[in-house]
Amino acid sequence: MRRPVAGGEGGRSAAPRLRRAVRVALSAAVGLALSACALLDFEPPGPEEFPVHGIDVSYYQEEIDWMAVRNAGTTFAWIKATEGGDWLDPKFAQNYMAAGAAGLARGAYHFYYFCRPVEDQIAWFIRNVPVDPTALPPVLDMEWNSESKTCRYRPPRAEVHANMRKWLTAIEAHYGKRPVIYSTVDFYRDRLAGAFGDYHIWLRSVAGHPSVRYGDRKWHFWQHTATGRIPGIRGNVDRNVFFGSPRQWQTFLMGAHDPRA
């Protein structure tokens, strides 16, 4: 009787099959690596890749060491001033003066309240925010407030746009600076998509680059986290970047940066 080759018939074909399996696995691994490299090549830049960084604050941040904030590399700060037609942030005046004294570019923002006439909100902002040629442009903060206990009204798109235009136009006439519009993903999707391209826009996108959540909308400021930490502030703070170079930032400060460019 013939002695079988070790491993029998399977023993003769196992080595070639093993070699083929190894080759397939290696090819797959190389393919995955190349795909990963391709994805990395086309990923949008992260916030650390932008040279001009800033924060936005309210009374929630409590006492702020503004010199430490500046020394940490912060260039600008927007400070909450007003909300609706009768609420003033209790830390606004202190933060506004101290941030300016520390050498930061700083400005004020207004949180829009849908259950108060826009005329009241214009008058309230003007009453509480000084005219200051050195300040950043005022900001109109447009977002849904699902936690509000006093206002659940969600105006239609046409009403939102009409009232925004009134606020923006009146505030620009009073302060001599074209305001910036701030928005969140859901409010932008529901009411602002495709509109106000003649204004600089500041977008909240804490789960990725704005292009992921806002498509091809041209943006100028990106709020990339609500849990930032920097020297001078004990807790969390919103952190932002400006879309542009230091030279473009200076152009923005001079009021010559075209939002459509």
> How far is 209 from 219, CA to CA, in rounded Å?
11
Helices in the chain by DSSP H: which ranges?
8-42, 66-71, 92-101, 118-128, 157-175, 185-187, 210-214, 246-253
pLDDT given for residue 31 in this prediction: 43
Model pLDDT, residue 44: 81
| Tokens linked to 147 | 């936690």
Same-domain pairing of 199 and 246? yes
Buried b / exposed e across 209-243, counting CB within 10 Å, b at 16+? bbeebbeebebbbbbbbeebebebbeeebbbbbbb
Pair 22, 78 in one domain: no
- Minimal CA–CA distance to 58: which of 101, 102, 95, 10? 95
Does some domain include residue 258?
A: no
Write down the residue that tokens 């009204």 correspond to. Answer: 153
Q: Name the pTM for this structure.
A: 0.84
CATH no. for residue 234? 3.20.20.80
One domain for residues 37 and 55 = no
pLDDT digits (tens, 9 = 90+) for 149-171: 999 999 999 999 999 999 999 99
What does the alpha-carbon distance between residue 247 and residue 132 come to, in Å, rounded to a whole number?
Answer: 22
Residues 64 and 34 occupy one common structural domain: no
Identify whether residues 97 and 30 lie together within a single domain.
Answer: no
Per-residue confidence (pLDDT) for residue 163, from 0 to 100? 98
- Domain span at 247: 50-253
Q: Do 29 and 152 belong together in one domain? A: no
Active site residues: 143
pLDDT for 5 = 34
100, 33: one domain: no
Does residue 224 lie in a domain region? yes
What pLDDT is stored for residue 157 in this prediction?
98
- Confirm whether 260 is domain-assigned: no
Ranges of the chain whose pLDDT falls below 70: 1-42
Q: Is the dihedral of CA 237, 243, 245, 251 positive or negative?
A: negative
pLDDT of residue 187: 98
Quick check: is 76 in a domain? Answer: yes
